[in-house]
Amino acid sequence: MSSGTIFYITTLLVYGGVDVVACLGLSLQFGTAGITNFGFIIYQAAGAYVAAVLSLPRDTANGGFQTYVLGLHLAFPLPWIGGAVAGGLLAIPAGLVVRRSLRPDFAGVSMLVTAVILNTVVDNFVPLFNGAAGVALVPSPLGNLFNPQSLKWQWMYSGIALFMCIVVLLVIRLITESPYGRSLRAMREDETAAKAVGKNTDRMRMTVLITGGAVAGLSGAILVGFINLWAPSAWTYPETIVLIAAVIIGGRGNHYGAILGAALVPLGFLEATRFIPAFGPAGLVPALEWIVTGLLILVFLWFRPQGVIPERRHRLARSLPAQAAAAVSGAAELATGPARGQ
């Protein structure tokens, strides 16, 4: 294989890893807990920015051609941890707004609006993260170990990205397969019933928003360490729609669906169009990509709302007849199952 091909493969692996991590976080919120977070991309953005300014030297370095806050020049893995923490912290105000919202669709819209506005603010307010130009020359993690331009580093970084996918998958599985995960599904199916059996749904929602935010922040940190650049154009609000499309198409509420969705939509679909010869005026192909993404969402919601891999039925009450067990919703499961206080 030529080194060009290898660079392409490792790039795909890292992008795929980032998309899988992000989709797992979104699937926890959207699939398992039923929280539709239209602003999911801002948590990835926060993680990327914070990881960038934690690993970059002060902005007076490199001739001071860009301005940004902090610039602590920390060693790997501290910037990644910082990115995840930033994503988690940013979820707290969102959780407070969601709590006050009259309806879940109002909450979703408020998060979308927040994503649009934060993008505008970061775009215009240059001292924060260098405005529309974005922060550049972000150091590659472990760049002191191997030369970041070398194939060794590329393989190492894709290995780390895939390792992070597995770690995130295991952590999220731990949450969703526990009694707490059952409570989350109960909240998704029937919030009133979940409240009636003593679940604090406000707190559960906040926890899920923070966890998902941290996972998204981590995905941003992994991405920015690889592409070394992060700008507002990388996280406009339709980027969230791509991730939502991935989770809907793959199958919400199950991890393999989220992984498959990440491989199919952001990676598979958007990479495949790279090999179509360019036609028409500039910008036509990306516009068509967005149109197809929108159509895919509609088609899947209509013909196969459960996605390619449907959510596995969570059976608890073995004593019930199989048919009844299949019919019980999360809330009923909770009532018959060993309901423990959270």
- DSSP H or E stretch at residue 189: helix 179-189
Burial letters 291-315, b for 16+ CB under 10 A, else e: eebeebbeebeeeeeebebeeeebe
Of the residues 244, 249, 309, 331, which one makes contact with other proteins according to CB under 8 A: 244
**Site membership for other proteins, residue 279 (CB under 8 A):** no
Q: Per-residue x/- marks for other proteins, 297-316, CB under 8 A?
A: xx--xx--------------
Residue 275: partners with Cβ closer than 8 Å, 6 or more residues away: none
CB of 331 to other proteins, least distance (A): 15
Q: Which is nearer to other proteins, 149 or 233 (CB)?
A: 233
Q: Which is nearer to other proteins, 62 or 120 (CB)?
A: 120
CB of 243 to other proteins, least distance (A): 12
**Site membership for other proteins, residue 109 (CB under 8 A):** yes
> How buried is residue 179: exposed, middle or buried, by Cβ count under 10 Å (0-12/13-18/19+)?
middle
Q: Which is nearer to other proteins, 196 or 287 (CB)?
A: 287
CA–CA separation, 64 and 275 (whole Å): 39
**Site membership for other proteins, residue 105 (CB under 8 A):** yes
**What backbone phi and psi angles, to 5 degrees, belong to 22?**
-65, -45
CA–CA separation, 226 and 157 (whole Å): 8
**Site membership for other proteins, residue 129 (CB under 8 A):** no
Number of Cβ atoms within 10 Å of the Cβ of 71: 19
**Site membership for other proteins, residue 67 (CB under 8 A):** no
**Site membership for other proteins, residue 322 (CB under 8 A):** no
Of the residues 8, 12, 36, 317, which one makes contact with other proteins according to CB under 8 A: 36
Specify the amino acid at residue 258.
Answer: A
Q: Which residues sit at the interface with other proteins, rule CB under 8 A?
A: 36, 38, 96-97, 100-106, 108-110, 112-114, 116-117, 120-121, 124, 237-238, 241, 244-245, 248, 280-284, 287-288, 290-291, 293-295, 297-298, 301-302
